[in-house]
A and B are shown apart, each in its own frame.
Chain A
Amino acid sequence: MIPLISAALFAFLLAVAVAVARTRDLFAAAMLTGIFSLLSAGLFTLLDAVDVAFTEAAVGAGISTLLILGTLSLTGSPEAPPRRSWAPLGVVALAGGALLYATLDMPAFGDPGAPAHLHVAPEYLADTPEDIGIPNVVTAVLASYRGYDTLGELVVILAAGVGVLLLVGSGDGGGGGERALGSESHVRMREKLVLRVVARRLVPFVLLFALYVQFHGDYGPGGGFQAGVVFAAGLILYGMIFGVDEVRRVVGPRAVEVGIAAGVLLFIGVGVASLLGGANFLDYSALDPHDPAHGRHLGILGIELGVGVTVASVMTAIYYGFAGRSRRA
């Protein structure tokens, strides 16, 4: 049964990818990329990678689509006529050929003798309960064994936020009236009774769910990245329907700016605390001198919170940046 579902998902994936490349309507392309991500999330679920699937669904299908739609409200939807050229097709064919060639000697899917299953992975599986004392091994790898990579990924998000704020602005610059596209769309949306009622009921639950995902990451799928994205998606949805000013009254641009920095600082702060405790950077065992596993658990809670705060703030800041820009335009 599962191979059949996989085959079907892959077929859809391929069809959607071709459709994205062919359509000249950017609005359609944005929606199709959302579908593409959702299908990928389905595939990841079939592979038992629920954490990855969750992230893909939240980031790929959720917030990226929202942000692209926000951008399209500034640029307009039809694509400029493309230049016809065969060179890109050649490059794509070459890269695709190399990928196919790589599969020739690849270990078979699910092969228990594959190198990836024999070297470090068994140690993670065997040691996590004792080392860190949490059941979710994915969280253990991401937040502790390879926690420094996660700090790096968070800084990538920070860099993206800094970039948008530098190039686009934080959206609090110009006052200008109701002329903007963002506000036009919310005026249109506000007239839809169903949207309004559903959003008002749904958004609190979205935010609550984000908090659940944030603090439940040690036990089930989830963690700071997903939680931050879900939280921001809740705010953005509200803003799209009731207008960006309504959201800004609750969470001001200045607060968002502070949040962007505070999350990363919290993460690095945990690392510095381990240094001060006499251990290596990000060695959370120093946080509790009597019980290393408990210290590591504490450390994970701290850094996941940092991740959640910065991710939610950056996503919101990007939305403010674009929504505010349309007001000036």
Chain B
Amino acid sequence: MSEHLPVLQVVIPLLCAPLALLVRREAAVRTLAFAAAAASFAISVALLVSVLADGPISYPLGGWYPPLGIEYRVDTLSAFVLCVVSGVAAVLLPLGPGRGGHGLPSGRLHWFYAALLLAQAGLLGVTITGDLFNVFVFLEISSLASYVLVGLGSDRRALRAAFTYLVMGTIGGTFVLIGIGFAYQMTGTLNLDDLAQRLPEVRHKSTMLAAFAFLSVGVSLKLAVFPLHQWLPNAYAYAPPVVSAFLAATATKVAYYLLARLVFTVFGVAYVFGELGLGWLLFPLSLAAIFAGALAAIRQTDVKKLLAYSSVSQIGYLTLGLSFASLSGLTGGLVHLFNHALTKGGLFLAVACVVARSGSSRLDDWRGIGRRMPWTMAAFVAGGLGLIGVPGTAGFVSKWYLVQAALEAGRAELALGILASSLLAVVYVWRVVETAYFRDPGGPETRAEAPLSLLGPTWVLIGASLYFGVFTEWSAGVASKAAAMLLGVGP
């Protein structure tokens, strides 16, 4: 059975989504969702171990070998991202919408779990596939499920945020589809490896250039690259907190993976950075994202929105790492994908903890909450330090690689920029810390810690982000192997 692990990885959550609709009973559905996510995570870890030992795995679906049929292809990079997505999902899926959710009547909870499972299966499918059209199909599965999950926020504005997300996401999806169409027209294939081999012949044609443009802009919309990020802040701010944690930790990460895959594996670094000179566009946009996101985060009065703008800024680091097109730059980008997934997932869960008790994510309502919810706020502080990039946290590891890449490239001004932006992160994290610990709540101070069912997962993610701040073999170690593979300088 072990040769079928690549497909089971996606099919298990895919199968459990419709099953959840038939089972209906909340406790059973919750167990089912957790079992699916846990199985999926176990499989991704097994795949990663196997890939590191024996090299890439190819799995022809339907028994049709590529390019005739669709291929699942697991290599170091995809296995790495699979572990991130399924790991975060395994922590988050059993939580349910929680308070701050739609106040879903209990008769509809099974639909919520089905949507989460679909979002997870879609993201895993995008990551593991070696077929361009299959990428589009699974991207749409995860996107549709995500729009719905965002729309379940308790605030009426959640629906508006979900609609904006839907419109922007659909434009992104359409662009991706147009790009796929052009690429197929010029090469006659949809398999990624086959495409990479047949591209050099036709890459100077206008149609191929347009294909690259539509694909990269479409994926950038899903990744929320500045200035295509407008959908993100409201979507994360008004979604139920658990959903924000899930999307922040997985959706944009998979879009980043896809961009790296297209740029490095399919189109090739020589074409994208050499002939097209994409670096000249991507560097300024990344810096703009880092600073504009952080500056906007400083001005927010709602903690979720603050974290959302911080995500815009952090996505800037991801694309910055990509634009170096160097080993340390790409390692920095990929390890930041891993680290930021844990950190931001944990931070949004900490918000979920507070919302579960006080019902509010407004900064004003967080006065003195550090004394009422010491464990929750300790997690928030640890996560916040990770956003800043303090040594000992995972965020430090990412920035270390990025600074190193900037210095290697002889661009000290970028290294200074990274350091300066960390100071901005200090400001927005400090605003929350100051409110939580040093402002007078103006009311009785009774300790009311979040339930363990919520606090536990928060600390799992935050704890992991601290662990990987010190022990980097499975984060930066694997990321640098994946980066070497993408650049063609390693196995």
Contact = CB atoms under 8 A, between A and B. Distances in A.
B338 interface: no
A273 to B, nearest CB: 13
Main SS at interface, chain B: helix
Contact of B141 (A105, A106, A152): A152
Contact of A282 (B15, B61, B147, B182): B61
A18 interface: no
Contact of A120 (B19, B104, B189, B214): B189
B61 to A, nearest CB: 4
Contacts of A89: none
Contacts of B401: none
Nearest to B188: A119
Interface string B125-137: 1000001011001
Contact of A99 (B17, B178, B184): B178
Interface in A158-183: 158-160, 162-163, 165-167, 169
A152 B187 contact: no
B118 A162 contact: yes
B227 to A, nearest CB: 11
A148 B188 contact: no
A85 interface: no
Nearest to B185: A116
Interface in B178-214: 178, 182, 184-189, 198, 202, 205-211, 213-214
Nearest to A263: B18
A156 B140 contact: yes
Contacts of B202: 115
Contact of B210 (A98, A153, A257): A98
B22 A261 contact: yes
B67 interface: yes
A271 B112 CA distance: 25
B151 A99 contact: no
Contact of A147 (B62, B115, B187, B211): B62
A155 B118 contact: yes
B144 A115 contact: no
Contacts of A116: 184-185, 188
B21 A257 contact: yes
Given A120-B188, A260-B18, A275 B134 contact: no
A156 B17 CA distance: 12
Given A156-B137, A167-B151, A102 B210 contact: yes
A279 interface: yes
Interface residues of B, number: 64
Given A102-B211, A155-B121, A166-B112, A121 B188 contact: yes
B61 A163 contact: no
A268 interface: yes
Contacts of B125: 152
Contact of B69 (A146, A265, A285): A146
B60 interface: yes
Contacts of A285: 63
A123 B17 contact: no
A101 interface: yes
Contacts of B133: 146, 149
A95 B178 CA distance: 11
B14 interface: yes
B11 A281 contact: yes
Interface in A95-123: 95, 98-99, 101-107, 114-121, 123
Main SS at interface, chain A: helix
A280 interface: yes
Contact of B111 (A165, A275, A280): A165
Contacts of A282: 61-63
B223 interface: no
Interface string A279-293: 111111100000000
Given A106-B185, A279-B63, A166 B115 contact: yes
Residue among A116, A145, A151, A280 having the largest count of chain B Cβ atoms under 10 Å: A280
Contact of A118 (B108, B145, B188, B211): B188
B6 to A, nearest CB: 9
A144 interface: yes
A99 B144 contact: no
B207 A103 contact: yes
B264 interface: no
A252 to B, nearest CB: 15
Interface in A258-305: 258, 260-262, 264-265, 268, 271-272, 275, 279-285
Given A115-B188, A159-B148, A280 B59 contact: yes
Given A146-B69, A159-B115, A163-B115, A281 B18 contact: no
A101 B185 contact: no
A124 interface: yes
Contacts of B138: 152
Contacts of A264: 17-18
A98 B187 contact: no
A264 B15 CA distance: 8
Interface in A129-154: 144-149, 151-153
A321 B207 CA distance: 43
A148 B178 CA distance: 21
A12 to B, nearest CB: 22
B114 interface: yes
Nearest to B63: A283
Contacts of B282: none
B426 interface: no
A277 B286 CA distance: 50
A158 B211 contact: no
A265 B16 CA distance: 9
30 contacts: A104-B207, A107-B185, A114-B185, A115-B185, A116-B185, A120-B67, A120-B68, A149-B131, A155-B121, A155-B141, A156-B137, A156-B141, A159-B122, A159-B145, A160-B144, A162-B21, A162-B148, A163-B145, A163-B147, A163-B148, A166-B108, A166-B111, A166-B115, A258-B21, A261-B18, A262-B18, A268-B15, A275-B4, A280-B62, A281-B4
Lowest 8 A-B CB distances belong to which pairs?
A119-B188, A283-B63, A102-B210, A152-B137, A163-B148, A105-B205, A261-B18, A115-B188
Given A159-B141, A163-B145, 11 more contacts: A102-B182, A107-B186, A115-B185, A120-B67, A120-B68, A146-B133, A155-B17, A163-B115, A166-B151, A280-B7, A283-B62
